[in-house]
């Protein structure tokens, strides 16, 4: 939220490194960092999210008197460093994929090019924001895929890890495919439709279930969606709802439907649908809630459940099966005083943790006939040349004997300029526009890549120049180690 100063939302070692760079006389050295996430066995694709809050954070960075005094009280930093912080502002550049873009492991979804002290400071907050929001948007996209064209309501606020997770999680969930939220503050902040009717406590606060339904319908005659499982869904809840619907109908109102929150949702929804249809209410909604996610919704669909509206909460807002995205922020290059780019690489015994060096961008290859995305390729910005008039050959990033050739294709650069030399150059889209963009993005991918069970692996390759740079740097480091 903008009224808070988030400048100190950082790990302490970012400040100690900044102080070290200042003492080394390297505060003007330009560094390039990439934000990406690694393959962890569970990630198939993700929906990039959080850019708007990241931009607001970066553009509002400032160390006020309160922040400076706190850092001074730690007795760690000299006045020279604190004076530098007092005049701090971000003067670098940010390149990123737009929110709602479908992204894959290893791809730089954001690149920061800035004086090293500035680039170092923002690491923690950038990851905090993008890791969480991308995680929730991605979970919501999978739930949307399972629910198909049904209504999805985000109900997770009470189970979110603190207010901000609930607020920005709701926004991310809408980008991923949810239609509304129960979170009133998120609705106000982001112009999200809000939804919700009543809880079990409403029913329990009246002498009987029928009276509770009747009183609720009197207050909201055109929005009477009644929770029918407080006592006995089929023997009490649905029959009492039908009685109230008859009253509404006689007064010229259209009953909305019922909600199931427990029990065998497939069985209960089928029985309830039949009861409602027999009573003359075939157009009423049957909404389900209660620890739902893409797997349980998909299962209910396959069981023929008569549910057309889903309230998803805990498992969405916490992404319960994968509660952390694992995005990282890694140095990929420095630019010296002469303007020469010096690529950097991180080595690991774990192949997945070896980074891709250099100042990069991602290109997506589309089949011209189908409009479908076929593969991505990571290129070096300042060294790669792309001739779209020639066939495009992509080679697997590690298994180099695997190749694919594209002839009738289109290329799209995924990263856009967001902040250049400290100034915002990108017009932030509305949440509605981001949601529509995310849907179009997801529609460009074949179902084989989005299916919930054993999805096909989408191709993300390295350009020849990037592959050769990485290979050469690895060889040089290995040889240097052997000569020690």
DSSP notation for 302-360? HTT----EEEE-HHHHTTTTS----EEEEEEEEE-TT--EEE-----SSGGGPPPPSSE
**Cα separation of 97 and 108, whole Å?**
8
Query: How confident is residue 484, by pLDDT bands cut at 50, 70 and 90?
Result: very low
Statement: residue 357 has pLDDT above 90: yes
Statement: residue 1 has pLDDT above 60: no
Check residue 53 and give left, alpha or beta (phi > 0: left; psi -120 to 50: alpha): alpha
For residue 170, the tally of other CB atoms under 10 A from its CB is 31
Mean pLDDT, residues 447-474: 94
Hunting for tokens 């349980």 — which residue is that?
296
Mean pLDDT, residues 255-283: 98
Statement: residue 56 has pLDDT above 50: yes
CA atoms within 13 A on the CB side of 96: 28
User: CA of 154: how far to CAs of 163, 409, 429, 443, in Å?
Assistant: 15, 38, 22, 22
Mean residue pLDDT of the chain comes to 95
Mean pLDDT, residues 324-352: 92
**Proportion of the chain above pLDDT 70, given as a percent:** 98
Supply the pLDDT for residue 424: 98
Sequence-ordered strand ranges (E) for 51-190: 93-96, 102-103, 110-115, 151-154, 180-181
Coil, helix or strand at residue 108? coil
Mean pLDDT, residues 31-57: 92
CA dihedral 462, 468, 471, 472 (to 10 degrees): -150
State the burial class of residue 223 (Cβ atoms within 10 Å of its Cβ: 0-12, 13-18, 19+).
Answer: middle
Supply the pLDDT for residue 350: 83
pTM (global) more than 0.75: yes
Asked whether the CA dihedral 106, 110, 111, 115 is positive or negative, the reply is negative
**206-233 pLDDT tens trace:** 999 999 999 999 999 999 999 999 999 9
Mean pLDDT, residues 153-182: 97
Query: Is 426 in contact with 416 (CB distance < 8 Å)?
Result: yes
**Cα separation of 172 and 142, whole Å?**
13
State the burial class of residue 334 (Cβ atoms within 10 Å of its Cβ: 0-12, 13-18, 19+).
Answer: middle
**79-128 pLDDT tens trace:** 999 999 999 999 999 999 999 999 999 999 999 999 999 999 999 999 99
Considering only CA atoms, which of 362, 381, 424 is closest in space to residue 36?
A: 362
Hunting for tokens 């910005």 — which residue is that?
381
Statement: residue 135 has pLDDT above 90: yes
What the block records as the tokens of 134 is 């991308």
User: CA of 272: how far to CAs of 226, 263, 300, 347, 409, in Å?
Assistant: 13, 13, 15, 59, 50
Helix (H), strand (E) at residue 468: helix 464-482
**Cα separation of 461 and 467, whole Å?**
9
Statement: residue 245 has pLDDT above 50: yes
Statement: residue 2 has pLDDT above 60: no
**Cα separation of 204 and 200, whole Å?**
6
**Proportion of the chain above pLDDT 90, given as a percent:** 88
Statement: residue 482 has pLDDT above 70: no
């Amino acid at each position: 939220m903008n009224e808070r100063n988030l400048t100190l939302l950082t790990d302490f070692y970012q400040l100690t490194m900044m102080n070290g760079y200042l003492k080394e006389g390297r505060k003007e050295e330009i560094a390039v960092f990439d934000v990406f996430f690694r393959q962890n066995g569970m990630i198939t694709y993700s929906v990039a999210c959080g850019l708007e809050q990241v931009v607001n954070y970066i553009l509002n960075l400032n160390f006020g008197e309160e922040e400076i005094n706190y850092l001074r009280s730690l007795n760690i930093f000299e006045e020279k460093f604190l004076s530098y912080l007092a005049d701090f502002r971000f003067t670098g550049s940010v390149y990123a994929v737009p929110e709602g873009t479908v992204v894959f492991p290893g791809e730089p979804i954001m690149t920061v090019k800035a004086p090293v002290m500035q680039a170092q400071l923002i690491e923690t907050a950038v990851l905090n924001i993008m890791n969480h929001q991308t995680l929730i948007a991605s979970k919501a996209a999978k739930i949307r895929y399972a629910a198909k064209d049904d209504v999805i309501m985000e109900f997770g606020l009470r189970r979110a890890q603190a207010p901000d997770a609930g607020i920005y999680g709701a926004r991310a969930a809408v980008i991923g495919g949810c239609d509304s939220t129960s979170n009133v503050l998120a609705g106000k902040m982001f112009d999200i439709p809000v939804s919700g009717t009543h809880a079990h406590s409403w029913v329990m606060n009246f002498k009987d279930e029928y009276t509770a339904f009747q009183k609720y319908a009197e207050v909201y005659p055109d929005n009477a969606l009644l929770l029918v499982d407080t006592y006995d869904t089929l023997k009490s809840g649905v029959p009492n709802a039908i009685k109230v619907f008859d009253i509404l109908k006689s007064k010229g109102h259209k009953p909305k439907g019922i909600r199931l929150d427990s029990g065998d949702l497939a069985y209960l929804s089928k029985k309830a649908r039949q009861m409602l249809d027999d009573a003359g209410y075939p157009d009423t909604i049957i909404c389900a809630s209660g620890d739902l996610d893409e797997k349980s919704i998909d299962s209910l669909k396959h069981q023929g459940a008569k549910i057309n509206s889903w309230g998803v909460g805990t498992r969405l807002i916490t992404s319960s099966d994968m509660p952390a995205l694992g995005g990282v922020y890694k140095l990929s290059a420095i630019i010296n005083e002469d303007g020469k780019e010096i690529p950097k690489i991180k080595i690991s015994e774990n192949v997945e943790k070896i980074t891709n060096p250099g100042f990069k961008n991602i290109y997506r290859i589309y089949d011209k006939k189908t409009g479908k995305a076929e593969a991505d390729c990571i290129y070096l910005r300042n060294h790669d040349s792309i001739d779209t008039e020639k066939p495009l050959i992509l080679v697997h990033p590690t298994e180099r004997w695997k190749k694919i050739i594209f002839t009738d294709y289109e290329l799209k650069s995924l990263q856009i300029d967001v902040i250049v030399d400290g100034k915002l150059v990108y017009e932030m889209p509305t949440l509605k526009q981001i949601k529509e963009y995310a849907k179009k993005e997801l529609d460009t991918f074949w179902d084989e890549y989005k299916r919930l069970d054993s999805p096909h692996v989408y191709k993300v390759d390295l350009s020849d120049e990037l592959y050769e740079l990485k290979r050469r740097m690895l060889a040089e480091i290995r040889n240097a180690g052997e000569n020690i």
